[in-house]
Chains A and B, each alone.
Chain A
Amino acid sequence: MIATLSTKKKNRLPQVLEHASGDKRFKILEAHIKKLQFKQDALIEVLHKAQELFGYLEDDLLLFIAYRLKLPTSRVYGVATFYHFFTLKPKGRHTCVVCMGTACYVRGADKVLAAVEDKARIKAGETTPDGELSLLTARCIGACGLAPAVVYDGTVTPRQTPDTALEKLKGWVDHGH
């Protein structure tokens, strides 16, 4: 990735722009950048929007943002990789975020996570090979009164146990076993 960005930037730019011209989402992103007045300090806002539109930040997208904000690609790549919220890999169709904050941890979130990892046969931070499920952990989603909490496809679900979690995942990871 780093090599691609640094050595091929010049050659790739026309390609990136051509790619962008055929994709509606780039237009929406460009409008957003314009709304933020092409300000370089709005980089994080732009990356948020880009991830919202595309699901993840692919190379062309980062190059496009760097070009539009007139920032070095290294800076865009640096920021995109520094923050946990941004992902450079595509996510699965469904996401399951196990909160691993202290309150959830002392109430057994580690057991929930272990059960899910075991069932889906992936580790936290990975996506199943069929692209169905991404398993993630969060540092604390602030739902400590309801510990342990798990977020299934954006819905916070309180008081999970290994059993209730596996129940929820039925249909997402059931294939073949």
Chain B
Amino acid sequence: MVIDDLIEIAEKERAARKKYVIRCCMAAGCMSSDSKGVKEALGKAVKEAGLEDQVEVRGVGCMKLCCQGPLVQVDSHGEGATVEVSGDGPGPLYQKVTPEDAASLIGTLKGGQTKVQRGDPKAPFFTEQMSIVLANSGIVDPERIESYIAAEGYQALHDVLREMTPKEVLDAMIKSGLRGRGGAGYPTGLKWATVAKTASQQKYVICNADEGDPGAFMDRSVLESDPHSVLEGMAIAAYAVGAGQGFIYVRAEYPLAISRLQTAIKQAKQHGLLGSGIFESPFNFNIDLRIGAGAFVCGEETALMASVEGKRGAPRPRPPFPAESGLWSCPTLINNVETFANVAPIIRKGADWFAGIGTEKSKGTKVFALAGKITNTGLIEVPMGTTLRKIVETMGGGAPDGGKIKAVQTGGPSGGCIPAAALDTTVDYDSLTKLGSIMGSGGMIVMDDTTRMVDVARFFMEFCMDESCGKCIPCRAGTVQMHGLLTKILGRKATARDLQKLEELCDMVKNTSLCGLGQTAPNPVLSTLRFFRKEYTELLQEDIYGGPSGNGHGNGNGNGNGTEEAFAPMI
């Protein structure tokens, strides 16, 4: 493979483009509403209408508005295209399509009418998005490498291998200001530089695709919709740090993502874009898949590496950090799926372009999975610094059925609940941390006024209790005790003393646990206590032995120690 071959594939692919491209969402969400049947029916209808030379039915990745699936969109190219849009570009979007609708949909290409529900591509849900990571999602066919190459795929890898030194790649990454998208937000360039500095002969690159946070499905969508962008990002990273072997650690719960990755790796190897002597340079790089087996703790990097080595996924103390001593004690670079998906666009369009997006300390965009009590559930990608209100109310359409939004939960079991009063907060690493939540991997769950916050706190505590690996005592025993206390509070059997004990335990588990799971397990409790303390105190019983301070008064107006914090907007 040389650059001419790459250009040839891209040109051939573009030349083969037909007048109409009917894109049919084939991500896991729409697949569960029979989008596969829709695609087959569309193909059949095209044949019956005799339009095979004009129409291509393409299975694509996630088209973002998951709640209205299966989604189908018709694009037109070239002269004489009649689909209601003047000129080229995306045309009408159809929602909740069934296989029976196929014939009438194809009929519209010949001027017919259809009763299929129309979506609005001009709705804020779509227009307010800014796609970098999801640029190819819903556009390219994830099962064909040619489709990705036609969308400028693997050009960044070529430029890096042939025209840049590893040092230049590192400098570009540092300059771009990209921070890890897995949750903690460590600067990606610095992490790469640390691994690059080590003298070891053997280094590894790992892609963390163990998306365990309940309520998050961004990584799944990226892997299903655009697997090659992750492979390309990993290869660039491997060149920059000097690694020869990569692993992608995927959850077993994502069978479609696994099969698309397997296909993508096979195709990349066939085209000489993985393997030895890539683009006729001395650079060799291979990627193997590792399938997880359902352990949340394996999202923690040291536990993940233990799992890649075929062991139980138990974390170990850091330092040494994986960048110095990771997989099989070799220096290891470990990044999240979304982080790797950002790499190729940064190289292609330049670090300055990327650094121009977002806020001062958080650059670029972030993908969020909107779910819960919200009208438009699905995937969104917005620049850092967008307000929560814009995401939830303008793009998400607010709570359905006239409900009122009460809180937004970000960061899964490690994050917190942000009250509705704080919706004007901007989304970036630092603002969310100030509110006691975290950016996390990008799950955003909206809760309305029917959701009880103590119940939510117990739900997450139960999760952490089950998922604790049992290696360190604060997490193993602490989560059980906290869960017991929360159950007691919910059962209206607790007193102010129990609440005080709960807070003490939160502090202890947070500060003494070994890994991120335990250190962040109390966050949902702490943040609900901070903003919704009244819901806890209302459930408290009078302490017949006299509480430590300020007895909780049986019903309603109990005042535990400490008061609910009213939210004061920053700045």
Which residues on A are within 8 Å of B, measured CB to CB? 39-45, 47-48, 75, 78-79, 82-86, 100-103, 105-107, 138-147, 149, 155-158
Contact = CB atoms under 8 A, between A and B. Distances in A.
B372 A140 contact: no
Nearest to A147: B371
B412 A102 contact: yes
Given A41-B310, A82-B313, A85-B252, A147 B293 contact: no
A145 B310 contact: no
Given A102-B214, A139-B212, A143-B29, A85 B312 contact: no
B32 A158 contact: yes
B451 interface: yes
A174 to B, nearest CB: 25
B247 to A, nearest CB: 10
A101 B216 CA distance: 9
A82 B312 contact: yes
10 contacts: A39-B310, A43-B311, A48-B291, A84-B294, A100-B214, A102-B371, A143-B32, A144-B377, A145-B378, A158-B32
Given A106-B372, A145-B69, 10 more contacts: A44-B291, A82-B312, A85-B292, A102-B214, A102-B371, A139-B294, A142-B211, A142-B254, A144-B217, A146-B66
A140 B215 contact: yes
Contacts of A78: 312
Contact of B29 (A39, A75, A145): A145
B64 to A, nearest CB: 9
Interface residues of B, number: 53
A42 B308 CA distance: 8
A149 B33 CA distance: 11
B254 A146 contact: no
A156 to B, nearest CB: 4
B312 A79 contact: yes
B293 to A, nearest CB: 3
A152 to B, nearest CB: 11
A105 B32 contact: no
B295 A83 contact: yes
Contacts, number: 138
Given A139-B212, A139-B294, A158-B33, A41 B372 contact: no
Contacts of A48: 252, 291, 293
Nearest to A78: B312
Nearest to A47: B293
A149 B371 CA distance: 12
Contacts of A142: 28, 211, 216-217, 220, 253-254
B240 to A, nearest CB: 26
B445 interface: yes
Contacts of B469: 82
B369 interface: yes
Nearest to A157: B32
B295 A102 contact: no
B417 to A, nearest CB: 11
B29 A146 contact: yes
Interface string B447-469: 10001000010011001000101
A70 B379 CA distance: 46
A105 B459 contact: yes
A120 to B, nearest CB: 22
A106 B445 contact: yes
Interface centre among A44, A102, A155 (most CB of B within 10 A): A102
B373 interface: yes
Contacts of B215: 101-103, 140, 144
Contacts of B214: 100-103, 105, 139-140
B459 A102 contact: yes
Contact of A155 (B32, B211, B307, B445): B32
B369 A156 contact: no
B447 A106 contact: yes
B28 A83 contact: no
Given A44-B307, A48-B291, A142-B220, A156 B32 contact: yes
B330 interface: no
